[in-house]
Structure 1
Amino acid sequence: MPYNLPATRLLMNRLRQVMAEDGDTRFRLDQVVRIIASTMVADVCSIYLRLTDGALLLIATEGLKPEAVSATRLGSNEGLVGLVARRAEPMAIQDAPRHPSFSYRPETGEDPFHAFLGMPILRGGRVLGVLTVQNRTERAYGDDEIDTLQTIAMVLAEIVDRMDPEHLTNGDGTKRERNLASLNGRVLCEGLGYGRAVLHDPVVPAAKFFAADQNMEAQRLKDALQGLKESIDQMMALDGAALGDDPRDVMETYRLLAHDPSWAEKLREGVRSGLSAEASVDRARREHRARLQSARDPYLRERLNDLEDLDNRLLRVLAGDDGKPQISEERSVLVARRLGPAELLDYANAGLRAILMEEAAVSSHAAIVARALGIPTLGGIEGLTTRVDQGDWVIVDAEKGILHIRPDDTLYDAYKGRVALRSERQATYAALRGLPAKTKDGTHVSLYLNAGLDLDLDMLDQAGADGVGLFRTEFQFLVSETLPRLNDQVALYKRVLEKADGKRVIFRTVDLGGDKVLPALNLKREENPALGWRSIRFALDHKGLFRRQLRALVRAAGTNPLTVMFPMVTVPSEFFEARDLLMKEVVWSEEQTGKKPSKLEVGVMLETPALAFSLSELAGEADFLSVGTNDLMQFFFAADRMTPSVSDRYDLVSPAAMRFLRQVSETCTNHSIRMSACGEATASPLSALCFISLGFHALSMPAGAIGPVKRMVRSVNLEAFREDFLKVLDLPDDAFRNQVLALAADHGVELSEG
């Protein structure tokens, strides 16, 4: 019979009853396949579970031989079921035996069946299994049937994900305990944390997939869609003066997606079929996420990302929390696929014990905000959101880069021991807070703080820093849907200077473009953003935006000292052009207000190897130079720091990098250019030891690194160590890091945090 909406509703209602009943998983699955087969007039309905090795195990069937359950096992590359699992998309075939991927399994008794419809069971983009229906006659399955089976697969995902293949035959109704799991990640903010997992992406419980009152659900969906559109329209009310002549295509495209009638109609269809409003949105989200996993076209990936974000926003509107996530657990660990800096700031006062992200690198904006908040954070954890469930207890070891899910007592006891040891170390560093970072032979090393938010300045005295060696100004631009107004920028810079209380603050001008795409400007994604239209290049091409920032910096300083630094300068002419714009703003301020900074220092960041060979041209022009280790080393080694497979392959503590930095130091010394270094590398006591041995006596780092680095500085006789260090540097030996470690041990330098 032709498939229709009443049949779909009947199926959904019957499934809702099964979901509400008590009983073990095996019994419920047997009921599900019977209901699907009878309602869809299919001769066969089967469910296959994907095992850890990729094989597919038959776990429930109506129409095939009952003895095949838990006995029929298909290889990951076997049959049409394997093909559906590999492609992660539906397959409808009129005559299955003629398909080249068909695999005959006599123990199932499937000889007479021809028509085949297979649907992947997905959770978080991961294939958990396959749901199939079959008919004896050749026939074409309609779009309604495919959509319905896709919805059922979504419901099944919540059941199948909790199944243990080793105990499928148990029928006693006992609940399976999920096992301990450990995943590796990259340390984004060091520390230790323990608590219950709170998922950032909205979760729709399986029990609430079905609508009790379809009219009420339709009205809820209508109201939520209207609320979503209104909130995005407000985001589009941008300040025309701030935007200048740049179009708003990026945000306009996002807005059009929210107003797309086909997306809304797809959601309404789900409600008409018997789903709740949340389940209908969740079905669309799963579809977008599955397509995103296989999409290779950058434009399509951006659109799918936007659609998934809209799905999440709409789920939060339906939850009645104005789109903002809520934390109710006292001891919580945030779990997310990805987070923007603005989203993470929403959790600033939530008392989080740790943060876990599936898609994040050390240099991502979310990672930098996490460090500013001082929350232990791991990123780049493959499979995170498919392995952690809401409410799972987790231990976040953001010292070794390990996540423990559902830890046992032994692990928890070890964690408590590590926390106690860490507290002892922190007490040791706190005792050094008021002491100078001076070597045993009297060389003073200035230790500065890296910052990007005014709340970072709260750590200035607590860490015992000499000032702020790098204040990243772009976060004010990135966390807002609109460009910050002049007065907003002035207010931020004033707060930073007031919190610094006379200590030096080096403001780095906006480092935008490339991977830091502004929502308020039409910035296109680039094939290689690290080498593209970014930083000082972008600023000099947007002089209106750039001069507004420079004016804000000058106005915020008033008659106090001001220090400004330009990022990613490649050729001296870029520095001269940027400095001239700054000087024009100083002149303008003096003419308009009668005020100008009492002392103005203008510096340049060395982040491209090209500039290292032009430093002589900056003699007498640049007041200081700061080596930006993050970008400089990725360009030096031609290794993208956002790509995990290569980002950790090349070591800054290597002869090539150290010899290059020695050349920079010698050039700066010969031309009387003050020099410093900033970036993640300076946070390591070992690499900081190398820097001061090369003559870099001013280092800027995250707040948590100042204690360990100060401890190292105060333990070394620098002149004696430097002499041996430079000898080792000129030796042709690949084991350079080990030699430096051995030297440090011989000289009694304290590098270990233990």
Structure 2
Amino acid sequence: MARKVLTGIPVSSGIAIGKALFMNRRLYGRIPRQSIAQHFVEGEKSRLKQAMDQAVEELDLVRGQVPNEFKEHGLIIDSHITILRDPKLRNLAFGYIEDMRINAEWALLKAVKEMEKRFAVIQDDYIRQRIQDVRLVADRVQSKLMGLSHEMQEIEGRIILMAHDLAPSDTAGLEVDKIMAFTTAEGGKTSHTGILARSLQIPSIVGVKDLEDTVEDGEFVIIDALKGRILVEPEEDELAEYIALQDQFDGYQKAIVRNCHLPAETIDGYRVQVQANIELFEEVAAVLDHGAEGVGLYRTEYSYMNREILPSEDELFEEYRDLASILSPAKVVFRTLDLGADKFISGFGAIDERNPALGLRSIRLCLQHRDLFRSQIRAILRASLAGNTAMMYPMISGLRELREANRVLAEAKAQLRDEGIPFNEELPVGIMVELPSAVMTAELLAKEVDFFSIGTNDLIQYSLGIDRTNKHVSYLYQPLHPAILRSIKHVVDAAHQSGIEVSLCGEVASDPFCVPILMGMQIDSLSMNPQAIPGIKRIIRQTTMDECKELLRRVLECRTVTKINKLVMDSIFQRFPEELAFYSSLLDNEDFV
């Protein structure tokens, strides 16, 4: 057995085997705590100010080294600079130095602890998690105070990079060709580490408990980013097993990527579009490399986050124009701002709501802040001539919201005409179907839009009344629940009866157990994480519509989710054993069961 097995959240699939090297460890246990005499107070304050100023200069320098294709990471560095310049953190630490007469390192530590308490009571999850940015900034300042280098030692050979956390400023100058995998103690699926790892297509596990206390530099480790496991100093039999698994996985990946640009067409000629979900401009390379036939969901709200000043219309126009032109003639579907619930921007901050998931968010928030909404719509319209583009509204609950959103669209079009700014007058406009009310009124909504896009993540949550991030009820998050399957089929049928196309862009689109059922419903397009596209396209190319329709028929006859899961698992495993070899490890604890 390995000396130790750690677990975390896999955010980029694969197997990596090699020696560990830490870029940084949290300094918490090494920070000196000293009482000081009164005549040293001003000196300690000056030392803290100097360390903060040095950190700002360092980040400014790094910011200038970020290439244009990683400009979103540059915005995160800007937010770290803003934290350092913000008087809140500085004044808190100065107060501890003056009132308690303690050294600068200890005072900064206490200031961060105080800010952690303030962030902990914020209901909005996205804002609450921004305390991690404060910690990253404080660690950089502590390094200055303690005379330590914040930079990693020179990499010799290929390594598995480990860290407490990785900020864009940490990774801007990394020799990525020498890194086999990323592993961090902090972070989640949307953290910078996860996004970077997916864009580089290397294995990554984040949120690993006890990582820093368990693994030493130079130790031999296995990164299993299929199951989210780290084996520290494995035995020979474990090593042999993982070398074989790594060869199998790499061979499978090469095989499916080699043919990923072939169309997603069944043996008997039914063609479905397979597109990508992305949130950052830098992910365009992954879209092109993995055979995506366009972008079915561009999450525009991420351009508004991690910054103090809202993006201007011109800035958004340039981003949208560049994305559309690079991917042309493939389509790009821009989802308008889906802010609120777990995503907020500094211009609004967290809204005091008992249940933000059911509160002022998405289209509701935009309709209350129409200037913000109109500015984004103008940018999308202006970019519409650069390529094949479309726009859709999130979280539409009924005709009233749809018509109100379209009024703002009409106002934006009228303004552009008056200003002599050209745009595509026939820009397709659709909606996200992710609320039960939208499902039940799909026939009415379909008559007033150009397309539907089903967002299964929220549809499942709202239909079944559960939060899949809540460990106490996550087992109830069932994509193959009879109510969910019937809801999706109802929406697809309503769309086709009105002569419009329907896409599905939730996680279900990349689930190999669900895709044949969706095909049986005659879905028009699927949109997913770029990395999932080659495998899903390969499954589609190996099946027939007769098989998919028969499976759908049998599934709809089942009365319970347990029977559906068993039927689907048996059928899909028997039909696609090779494709599912790397999914079987997920079945014990993920959404499928």
TM-score (norm 2): 0.80
Could you list the per-position Cα deviations for residues 35-55 of structure 1 after superposition, in whole angstroms to 9, with x for gaps in the alignment? xxxxxxxxxxxxxxxxxxxxx
Structure 1 residue aligned with 2:225: 398
Question: CA separation in 1, counterparts of 2:576 and 2:129?
Answer: 52
Matched, 1:426 2:266: no
8 Å contact from structure 2 (residues 52, 84) kept in 1: no
8 Å contact from structure 1 (residues 559, 598) kept in 2: no
Question: CA separation in 1, counterparts of 2:191 and 2:130?
Answer: 19
Structure 2 residue aligned with 1:189: 12
Matched, 1:256 2:88: yes
Matched, 1:376 2:222: no
Amino acid at match of 2:482: P
Question: CA separation in 1, counterparts of 2:558 and 2:481?
Answer: 11
If each structure's helix is expressed as a fraction of its own residues, which one has the higher value? 2
8 Å contact from structure 1 (residues 199, 334) kept in 2: yes
Give the length in aligned residue pairs. Answer: 550
Distance 1:548 1:218, change over 3 A: closer
SS of the residue corresponding to residue 471 of structure 1 reads: strand
Distance 1:367 1:649, change over 3 A: farther
SS of the residue corresponding to residue 428 of structure 2 reads: strand
Matched, 1:313 2:145: no
8 Å contact from structure 2 (residues 56, 84) kept in 1: no
What is the Cα deviation at residue 692 of structure 1? 1.3
Residue from 731, 735, 745 that aligns with 2:563: 735
Alignment of 1:273-422 (within 5 A): 277-278=104-105, 280=106, 284=110, 297-298=121-122, 310=134, 312-320=136-144, 326-328=151-153, 330=155, 331-336=159-164, 350=176, 352-357=179-184, 360-362=187-189, 367=194, 370-384=197-211, 386-388=213-215, 393-422=220-249
Distance 1:309 1:400, change over 3 A: closer
Which structure exhibits the higher relative contact order, with contacts defined as CA atoms closer than 8 Å and separated by 6 or more residues? 2
SS of the residue corresponding to residue 260 of structure 1 reads: helix
SS of the residue corresponding to residue 563 of structure 1 reads: strand
What is the Cα deviation at residue 604 of structure 1? 0.3
What is the Cα deviation at residue 392 of structure 1? 5.5
Distance 1:316 1:699, change over 3 A: same
Question: CA separation in 2, counterparts of 1:256 and 1:745?
Answer: 56
Structure 1 residue aligned with 2:434: 607
Distance 1:183 1:648, change over 3 A: farther
SS of the residue corresponding to residue 558 of structure 1 reads: helix
Question: CA separation in 1, counterparts of 2:274 and 2:449?
Answer: 21
Structure 1 residue aligned with 2:62: none
Question: CA separation in 2, counterparts of 1:690 and 1:368?
Answer: 30
Could you list the per-position Cα deviations for residues 119-169 of structure 1 after superposition, in whole angstroms to 9, with x for gaps in the alignment? xxxxxxxxxxxxxxxxxxxxxxxxxxxxxxxxxxxxxxxxxxxxxxxxxxx
Could you list the per-position Cα deviations for residues 711-742 of structure 1 after superposition, in whole angstroms to 9, with x for gaps in the alignment? 10011112233124312321234231221132
Distance 1:585 1:749, change over 3 A: farther
Alignment of 1:676-695 (within 5 A): 676-695=503-522
What is the Cα deviation at residue 496 of structure 1? 0.6
Structure 1 residue aligned with 2:418: 591
Matched, 1:519 2:346: yes
Distance 1:336 1:750, change over 3 A: same
Structure 2 residue aligned with 1:449: 276
Alignment of 1:585-734 (within 5 A): 585-597=412-424, 599-733=426-560, 734=562
Amino acid at match of 1:333: L
SS of the residue corresponding to residue 269 of structure 2 reads: coil
Question: CA separation in 1, counterparts of 2:386 and 2:83?
Answer: 39
What is the Cα deviation at residue 603 of structure 1? 0.7
Question: CA separation in 2, counterparts of 1:611 and 1:585?
Answer: 25
8 Å contact from structure 1 (residues 561, 599) kept in 2: no
Structure 2 gap ranges (5+):
60-81, 583-593
Segment drifting more, 586-595 vs 693-702: 586-595
Could you list the per-position Cα deviations for residues 341-381 of structure 1 after superposition, in whole angstroms to 9, with x for gaps in the alignment? x6787588756543445565546787556534534333454
8 Å contact from structure 2 (residues 96, 102) kept in 1: no
Alignment of 1:51-90 (within 5 A): none
Question: CA separation in 2, counterparts of 1:595 and 1:573?
Answer: 29
SS of the residue corresponding to residue 600 of structure 1 reads: coil
What is the Cα deviation at residue 614 of structure 1? 1.4
SS of the residue corresponding to residue 513 of structure 1 reads: coil
Distance 1:573 1:554, change over 3 A: same
8 Å contact from structure 1 (residues 569, 605) kept in 2: yes
Question: CA separation in 2, counterparts of 1:306 and 1:362?
Answer: 15
8 Å contact from structure 1 (residues 448, 698) kept in 2: yes
RMSD over equivalenced CA pairs, Å: 4.2
Structure 1 residue aligned with 2:325: 498
TM-score (norm 1): 0.64
8 Å contact from structure 1 (residues 559, 595) kept in 2: no
8 Å contact from structure 2 (residues 446, 498) kept in 1: yes
Could you list the per-position Cα deviations for residues 198-248 of structure 1 after superposition, in whole angstroms to 9, with x for gaps in the alignment? 36564378498889xx9787753342256679999xxxxxxxxxxxxxxxx
Question: CA separation in 2, counterparts of 1:323 and 1:569?
Answer: 52
Distance 1:329 1:348, change over 3 A: closer
Question: CA separation in 1, counterparts of 2:323 and 2:185?
Answer: 32
Could you list the per-position Cα deviations for residues 566-608 of structure 1 after superposition, in whole angstroms to 9, with x for gaps in the alignment? 1111222212211221232223223323512164100100111
Matched, 1:269 2:101: yes
8 Å contact from structure 1 (residues 284, 311) kept in 2: no
Structure 1 residue aligned with 2:292: 465
8 Å contact from structure 1 (residues 189, 377) kept in 2: yes
Question: CA separation in 2, counterparts of 1:335 and 1:376?
Answer: 15
Distance 1:377 1:307, change over 3 A: closer
Question: CA separation in 2, counterparts of 1:184 and 1:502?
Answer: 43
8 Å contact from structure 1 (residues 626, 675) kept in 2: yes
Question: CA separation in 1, counterparts of 2:506 and 2:422?
Answer: 33
SS of the residue corresponding to residue 437 of structure 1 reads: coil
8 Å contact from structure 2 (residues 516, 548) kept in 1: no
Question: CA separation in 2, counterparts of 1:714 and 1:622?
Answer: 31
Structure 1 residue aligned with 2:66: none
Distance 1:724 1:226, change over 3 A: closer
Structure 1 residue aligned with 2:589: none
What is the Cα deviation at residue 466 of structure 1? 0.9
Distance 1:391 1:356, change over 3 A: same
Give identity over the alignment, percent: 26
Question: CA separation in 1, counterparts of 2:242 and 2:376?
Answer: 46
Amino acid at match of 1:441: D
Question: CA separation in 2, counterparts of 1:738 and 1:639?
Answer: 22
Matched, 1:567 2:394: yes
**Higher radius of gyration, 1 or 2:** 1
8 Å contact from structure 1 (residues 281, 314) kept in 2: no
Could you list the per-position Cα deviations for residues 56-106 of structure 1 after superposition, in whole angstroms to 9, with x for gaps in the alignment? xxxxxxxxxxxxxxxxxxxxxxxxxxxxxxxxxxxxxxxxxxxxxxxxxxx
Question: CA separation in 2, counterparts of 1:537 and 1:365?
Answer: 28
Question: CA separation in 2, counterparts of 1:706 and 1:387?
Answer: 36
Distance 1:307 1:751, change over 3 A: closer
What is the Cα deviation at residue 507 of structure 1? 0.6
Structure 1 gap ranges (5+):
1-178, 233-249, 272-276
